[in-house]
């Protein structure tokens, strides 16, 4: 029977072109939607790697402060201690602008055994960073004041970079080349990945390097972890303290609000995309339904004949549903050919599993759509009275 149906479909390929095209386009759109969703879900399901609650960022400008490096270092040390002394403050750290959920990115390249690893996030952090974010150490230790001196700069890497560079080997004590592979940096710790760009984006590979107090003039961010008692009054008090101390305007932001804003940047376009795709799918479903309905009305004579020569109502219904599914299969073969190029060519540097899962879900979705859309026309075809259909012809 399948060979017969293939022959019938092949001989009617021109008439079936519209149906085949509709399915192909739908598959590609669905594949795109599911690729996004799978990618976001895979990232979402991974642990965040840090605790953002009750963390505030204070952004400031050094314009009115002393230019002398040592004076500035003493000034910031005092400021740091003053903030730490506040009863509402649990932890304080200086950090580069690319702290979690900020809009800044800073990346570098590192070398290991002559191999270069590009696009490595470079977080320049103070000693208090680990405590502010509650970052988990997997191996080694966090920075201490003694790390500021010594022959090799000390760095901490995240687990993604550790796997890329060392696989399952221990990373502690290993030397890693900098961007130009001129200076060696010593790995003193490995931390759990932290998703700094929002819940739906990967952590990527990262190194953490210690903030040099000599360069505080170039730093513009302090992060504080506050206690549960920290309220708007405290925030106002903190603002006044910081503005007075720095003799400049400051901006205090709550990280949980920044997180929401960051996630919205991903969620809103995705929701819009899903709505547009849903409308497309509804139109495609109606189109498929219409094409199948039209075909059945055009084939009433054939259906009457099949009933006369031995097809039961359910056999007619089955045949029409199978025809639709075979047509869908032909389109899906072409669609999968294009879709499978994405993992093969590593397009957008997205894991192959994202594309493969999306292909599988899209194929199932299209089959379900075609099956549902062909059920009712198939049932109607089964109800065609053979004597009437044969007489009409």
Partner 1 sequence: MIRLQNIEKVYRTDTVETLAINGISLDIAKGEFLSIMGPSGCGKSTLLNIMGLLDEPSKGNIKIDSQDISSFSDEKLAKFRNHKLGFIFQSYHLINDLQVLDNVELPLLYRTSSAKERKRLATEALEKVGLSNRLKHFPTQLSGGQRQRVAIARAIVGNPQIILADEPTGNLDSAMGNEIMEILINLNKNEGTTIVMVTHDESMAHKTHRLVRLFDGSQVQ
Interface positions with partner 1 (CB under 8 A): 1, 3-4, 7-8, 11-12, 301-302, 304-315, 385-387, 390-391, 393
Q: Which ranges constitute the DSSP H helices of the chain?
A: 2-11, 17-44, 69-85, 129-133, 159-166, 232-246, 255-298, 300-308, 313-339, 341-344, 352-382, 386-392
174 vs 306, which CB is nearer to partner 1?
306
Closest contact distance (angstroms) between CB of 32 and partner 1 is 35
Residue 92 three-state SS: strand
9 vs 258, which CB is nearer to partner 1?
9
49: its two tokens: 């790697």
228 vs 393, which CB is nearer to partner 1?
393
252 vs 322, which CB is nearer to partner 1?
322
Closest contact distance (angstroms) between CB of 384 and partner 1 is 11
DSSP state of 65: S
DSSP state of 62: -
Sequence-distant (≥ 6) Cβ neighbours of residue 130 within 8 angstroms: 137, 142, 191
64 vs 393, which CB is nearer to partner 1?
393
79 vs 321, which CB is nearer to partner 1?
321
52-69 burial code (b ≥16 CB/10 A, e <16): bebbbbbbbebeebeeee
Closest contact distance (angstroms) between CB of 334 and partner 1 is 22
Contact 177, 183 (CB under 8 A): yes
Closest contact distance (angstroms) between CB of 302 and partner 1 is 6
Closest contact distance (angstroms) between CB of 6 and partner 1 is 11
Residue 1, classified by CB atoms within 10 Å of its CB into exposed (0-12), middle (13-18) or buried (19+), is exposed
Closest contact distance (angstroms) between CB of 380 and partner 1 is 15
12 vs 237, which CB is nearer to partner 1?
12
CA distances for 362 relative to 4, 39, 94, 113, 236, angstroms? 27, 14, 47, 42, 52
Residue the block writes with tokens 């690319």:
98
Closest contact distance (angstroms) between CB of 388 and partner 1 is 9
């Amino acid at each position: 029977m399948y060979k017969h149906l293939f022959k019938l479909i092949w001989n009617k390929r021109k008439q079936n072109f519209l149906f085949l095209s509709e399915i192909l386009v739908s598959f590609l759109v669905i594949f795109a939607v599911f690729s996004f969703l799978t990618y976001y879900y895979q990232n979402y399901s991974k642990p965040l790697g840090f605790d953002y609650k009750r963390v505030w960022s204070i952004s400031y400008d050094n314009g009115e402060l002393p230019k002398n490096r040592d004076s500035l270092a003493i000034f910031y040390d005092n400021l740091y201690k003053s903030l730490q002394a506040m009863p509402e403050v649990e932890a304080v750290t200086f950090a580069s602008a690319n702290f979690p959920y900020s809009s800044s990115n800073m990346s570098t390249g590192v070398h290991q055994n002559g191999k270069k690893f590009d696009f490595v996030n470079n977080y320049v952090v103070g000693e208090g960073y680990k405590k502010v974010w509650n970052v988990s150490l997997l191996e080694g230790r966090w920075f201490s004041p003694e790390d500021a001196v010594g022959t090799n700069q000390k760095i901490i890497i995240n687990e993604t970079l550790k796997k890329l560079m060392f696989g399952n080997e221990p990373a502690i004590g290993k030397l890693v080349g900098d961007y130009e592979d001129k200076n060696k940096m010593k790995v003193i710790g490995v931390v759990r990945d932290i998703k700094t760009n929002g819940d739906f984006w990967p952590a990527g590979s990262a190194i953490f390097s210690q903030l040099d107090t000599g360069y505080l003039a170039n730093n513009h961010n302090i992060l504080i972890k506050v206690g549960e008692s920290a309220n708007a009054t405290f925030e106002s008090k903190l603002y006044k303290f910081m503005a007075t101390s720095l003799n400049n305007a400051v901006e205090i932001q709550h990280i949980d609000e920044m997180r929401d804003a960051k996630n919205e940047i991903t969620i809103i376009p995705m929701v819009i995309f899903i709505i547009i795709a849903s409308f497309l799918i509804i139109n495609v479903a109606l189109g498929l339904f219409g094409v199948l309905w039209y075909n059945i009305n055009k084939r009433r004579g054939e259906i009457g004949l099949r009933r006369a020569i031995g097809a039961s109502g359910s056999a007619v219904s089955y045949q029409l549903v199978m025809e639709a599914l075979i047509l869908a299969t032909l389109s899906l073969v072409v669609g999968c050919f294009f879709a499978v190029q994405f993992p093969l060519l590593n397009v957008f540097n997205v894991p192959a599993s994202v594309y493969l899962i999306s292909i599988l879900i899209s194929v199932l979705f299209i089959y379900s759509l075609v099956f549902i859309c062909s059920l009712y026309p198939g049932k109607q075809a089964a109800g065609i009275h053979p004597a009437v259909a044969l007489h009409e012809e």
